[in-house]
């Protein structure tokens, strides 16, 4: 390929990726699948790895890779980041409207913009000539922390602003020479719940709510940690601006979107009455939104009027936060019962005196596990503060000990499973109690739910309810039975019309050629989450190889710890597993493994450590190439390391390699090895 062609491909890839980012994050209307997007990214990485001199700081590949910091630098905002005064009810909102009118000496209705108040962490991003250059947290409003490297990992924040082109291909607006934009970094409720679940499994402390988890994630000294957190962002305000101007909040938000800066939904309202109407609407919708909001923000639309109104004690006179009523409630814990999940985990649940929380009558709250109950000292009969956090499942925040009468009773974990009476154990070092009976019906339904779930076999339209019906009607005993269900068997079931029966059959049929990692994940092996399933699929390449692997072999796989190795080996040794897999095969399940189609794997099984600065590629690119060739990259040198690739300024890792007699490769030698 000629250089011109290469440059052209590079530019096309970058602009395509940017366009897909905008379609996804701004327009909420993606055009391509994740796989297609990944393919574009990989191709771009490939080219940049081969021609690192062509890498630009705003290339979509440049989101991760910065080294961890010792501490954050401080940044003084060019324009202070203000906070908002609150209106707690209708009356206070109307007073705000009156104040605005008085200050503007008018009786005419004011035009407002109504926005949701996103419950995240305020930040500022600075773009120079359309390129993201730095960013910071709000801090105290005057100075914040420099979180540039962390913000770069947030895909919703463009590294480069988009431009809209007219029919002649000319930009419809100039990119400002400087644009300081403000917004909120947040986490979707579902992503938050998933993150906490993973943390629970790995024994890390849980985040209390999506806000804390967004804040905690953005304020990581190691940007590679931030990169792994599912952060998103919305923009809603300006700092200093040069080279562009806006007449109103509404116009500014529209322009943000054109520039590729995501905004939350928002409305123009012609009067404070219309604002109120929007507020009630929003309150209704609150729980169906994918992210947490704690109310609305009402802003005078015209920038001219905003300027006339000015500010008072660090808050603008032209805006107000119109909050929702509190979401915590106090109630009594009438009982503590125990639920059994897919893995047999016993979860204690508080049975509450029903209480209205955000319009939903709540009568249960999760207590997570025994340790949590002890930590919060929760007893049956206690008066407790409960809340609905990011998770839809309400939880107990704390108990009110001044309300104790002395009649409260401590909770004890049952020694028998409440569902099947099987023995309950708490494995050493774990926070959870588990039912040990393999055939426990609670596990069965949980297993099936997991099997059909989106990230596993992705059998659309087979709900938990439907699975229960299948079991109750004797249609299935295990996941493999799903594949022998016929339409004739479905039709007599409750609320099963011809079309829906057809859809179910189709969905099941469609799942018959799962990717290897999905199938491994779907099997529901203890400790094998999505990521581990991918690691295993990549390493072993086929289900048969994985089945044959001994515990010792499994332990040698990078990222597979002793506990996972043990669990996997045990799983495949069980005769039940053998039977199940035979049933799957008989049902016509054909596992595909795109990984093994990737080509030769000359570095299969080889372990690398990268150190120092490489001249022709980034470390990430080198890592990618090694992994593609079947090798793996570790962070520290041990006697198991096969090669250390040493760039310039290599330090202690090089010394360690020499000390242990590990082969050290120069960058050229490494390239040669890759090309072998
Ligand atoms: S406007 C002067 N708009 O609420 C403009 N703020 O108490 C100040 N927030 O620090 C911000 N959603 O963290 C604005 N749509 C929105 C918002 C919003 C959330 C947060 C932000 C700010 C705080 C103000």
- CA of 298 from ligand 1 middle (Å) equals 10
Domain 441-510 and domain 516-596, same fold? Reply is yes
- The answer to whether the beta carbons of residues 526 and 567 sit under 8 Å apart is yes
Shortest-distance Cα residue to atom 12 of ligand 1: 117
Residue 446: which of 334, 335, 343, 323 has the closest Cα? Answer: 343
Distance CA 663, CA 665 (A): 6
- CA of 297 from ligand 1 middle (Å) equals 7
- Residue 397: burial class (beta carbons within 10 Å; 0-12, 13-18, 19+): middle
Shortest-distance Cα residue to atom 2 of ligand 1: 82
Q: What digits encode the pLDDT tens for the residues 179-220?
A: 999 999 999 999 998 898 888 777 777 787 888 899 999 999
State pTM to two decimals.
Answer: 0.58
Domain range annotation of the chain: 3-54, 86-323, 328-425, 441-510, 516-596, 607-674
Q: For tokens 């080509």, what's the residue? A: 599
642 annotated as a binding-site residue: no
184 annotated as a binding-site residue: yes
**Given 117, 232, 443, 538, the catalytic residue:** 117
159 annotated as a binding-site residue: no
- CA of 129 from ligand 1 middle (Å) equals 26
Q: For tokens 């739910």, what's the residue? A: 449
Residue 416: CB partners within 8 Å, gap ≥ 6? 422, 423, 424
Q: Which atom of ligand 1 is nearest to the CA of 115?
A: 15
- Structure token digits, residue 218: 């953005």
Cβ atoms within 10 A of the Cβ of 429, count?
7
pLDDT for 391 equals: 46
Q: Which atom of ligand 1 is nearest to the CA of 120?
A: 13
Note the CATH number of domain 607-674: 3.40.50.10190
| Inter-CA distances, 388 with 144, 244, 354, 377, 566, Å | 30, 42, 14, 20, 37
Shortest-distance Cα residue to atom 23 of ligand 1: 83
84 annotated as a binding-site residue: yes
pLDDT for 390 equals: 45
Mutate to test the pocket of ligand 1, among 236, 249, 316, 324 (most ligand atoms within 8 A of CB): 236
pLDDT for 597 equals: 47
Residue ranges in the chain whose pLDDT is less than 50: 390-391, 597
- Structure token digits, residue 131: 């390129």
User: What is the CATH topology of the domain spanning 441-510?
Assistant: DNA polymerase; domain 1 (1.10.150)
Shortest-distance Cα residue to atom 22 of ligand 1: 83
Q: What digits encode the pLDDT tens for the residues 148-169?
A: 999 999 999 999 999 988 999 8
User: What is the CATH topology of the domain spanning 516-596?
Assistant: DNA polymerase; domain 1 (1.10.150)
Q: Does domain 86-323 have CATH number 3.40.190.10?
A: no
- Structure token digits, residue 129: 């000539």
User: What is the CATH topology of the domain spanning 328-425?
Assistant: OB fold (Dihydrolipoamide Acetyltransferase, E2P) (2.40.50)
Q: For tokens 């799903």, what's the residue? A: 482
- The answer to whether the beta carbons of residues 333 and 100 sit under 8 Å apart is no
Q: Which atom of ligand 1 is nearest to the CA of 119?
A: 19
- CA of 118 from ligand 1 middle (Å) equals 8
- Is 656 annotated in the active site? no
Rg of the chain on CA atoms, in Å: 28
Report the helix count and the strand count for the chain, using DSSP H and E: 24, 24
Q: Does domain 3-54 have CATH number 3.40.470.10?
A: no
Q: Ligand 1 pocket: which residues have CB below 6 Å?
A: 82-84, 115, 117-118, 122, 138, 184, 236-237, 297, 316, 319, 321
83 annotated as a binding-site residue: yes
């Amino acid at each position: 390929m000629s250089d011109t062609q290469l440059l052209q491909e590079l530019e096309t890839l970058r602009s395509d990726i940017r366009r897909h980012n905008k379609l996804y994050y701004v327009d909420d209307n993606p055009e391509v699948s994740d796989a297609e997007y990944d393919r574009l990214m990989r191709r771009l990485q490939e080219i940049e790895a081969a021609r690192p001199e062509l890498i630009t700081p705003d290339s979509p590949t440049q989101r991760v890779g910065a080294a961890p910091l010792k501490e954050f630098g401080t940044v003084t905002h060019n324009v202070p980041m203000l906070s908002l005064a609150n209106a707690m009810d209708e009356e206070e909102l109307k007073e705000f409207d009156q104040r605005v009118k008085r200050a503007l000496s008018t009786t005419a209705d004011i035009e407002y913009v109504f926005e949701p108040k996103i419950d995240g962490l305020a930040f500022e991003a600075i773009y120079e000539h359309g390129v993201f250059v730095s960013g910071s947290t709000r801090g105290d409003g005057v100075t914040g922390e420099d979180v540039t490297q962390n913000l770069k990992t947030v895909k919703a924040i463009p590294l480069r602003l988009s431009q809209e082109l007219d029919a002649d291909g000319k930009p419809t607006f100039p990119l400002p020479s400087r644009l300081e934009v403000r917004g909120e970094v947040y986490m979707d409720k579902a992503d938050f719940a998933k993150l906490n679940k993973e943390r629970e499994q790995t024994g890390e402390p849980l985040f209390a709510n999506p806000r804390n988890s967004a804040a905690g994630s953005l304020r990581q000294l190691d940007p590679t940690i931030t990169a792994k957190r599912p952060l998103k962002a919305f923009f809603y305000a300006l700092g200093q601006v040069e080279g562009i101007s806006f007449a109103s909040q509404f116009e500014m938000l529209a322009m943000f979107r054109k520039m590729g800066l995501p905004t939350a939904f928002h409305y123009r309202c012609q009067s404070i009455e219309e604002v109120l109407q929007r507020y009630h609407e929003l309150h209704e919708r609150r729980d169906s939104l994918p992210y947490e909001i704690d109310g609305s923000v009402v802003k005078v639309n015209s920038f001219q009027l905003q300027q006339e109104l000015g500010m008072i004690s660090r808050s603008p006179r032209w805006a107000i936060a119109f909050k929702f009523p509190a979401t915590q409630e106090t109630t009594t814990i009438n009982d503590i019962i125990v639920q059994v999940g897919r893995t047999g985990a016993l979860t204690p649940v508080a049975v509450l005196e029903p209480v209205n929380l955000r319009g939903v009558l709540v009568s249960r709250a999760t207590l997570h596990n025994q340790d949590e109950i002890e930590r919060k000292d929760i007893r049956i009969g206690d008066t407790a503060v409960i809340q609905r956090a990011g998770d839809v499942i309400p939880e107990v925040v704390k108990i009110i000990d001044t309300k104790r009468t002395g009649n409260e009773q401590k909770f004890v974990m049952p020694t028998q499973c409440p569902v099947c009476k099987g023995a309950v154990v708490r494995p050493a070092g774990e926070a959870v109690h588990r039912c040990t009976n393999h055939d426990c019906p609670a596990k069965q339904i949980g297993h099936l739910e997991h099997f059909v779930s989106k990230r596993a076999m992705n059998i659309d339209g087979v709900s938990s309810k439907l699975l229960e019906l299948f079991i109750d009607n004797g249609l299935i005993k295990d996941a493999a039975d799903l594949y022998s269900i016929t339409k004739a068997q479905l039709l007599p079931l409750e609320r099963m019309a011809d079309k829906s029966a057809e859809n179910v059959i189709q969905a099941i049929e469609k799942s018959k050629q799962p990717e290897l990692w999905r199938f491994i994940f779907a099997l529901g092996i203890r400790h094998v989450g999505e990521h581990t399933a991918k690691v295993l699929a990549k390493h072993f390449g086929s289900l048969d190889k994985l089945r044959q692997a001994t515990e010792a072999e499994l332990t040698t796989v990078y990222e597979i710890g002793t506990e996972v190795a043990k669990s996997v080996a045990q799983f495949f040794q069980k005769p039940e597993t053998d039977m199940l897999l035979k049933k799957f095969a008989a049902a016509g399940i054909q596992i595909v493994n795109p990984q093994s189609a990737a080509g030769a794997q000359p570095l299969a099984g080889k372990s690398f450590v990268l150190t120092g600065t490489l001249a022709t590629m980034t470390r990430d690119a080198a890592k990618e190439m090694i992994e593609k060739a079947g090798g793996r990259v570790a962070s520290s040198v041990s006697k198991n390391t096969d090669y250390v690739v040493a760039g310039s300024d290599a330090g202690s890792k090089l010394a360690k390699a020499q000390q242990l007699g590990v082969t050290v490769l120069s960058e050229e030698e490494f390239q040669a090895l890759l090309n072998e």
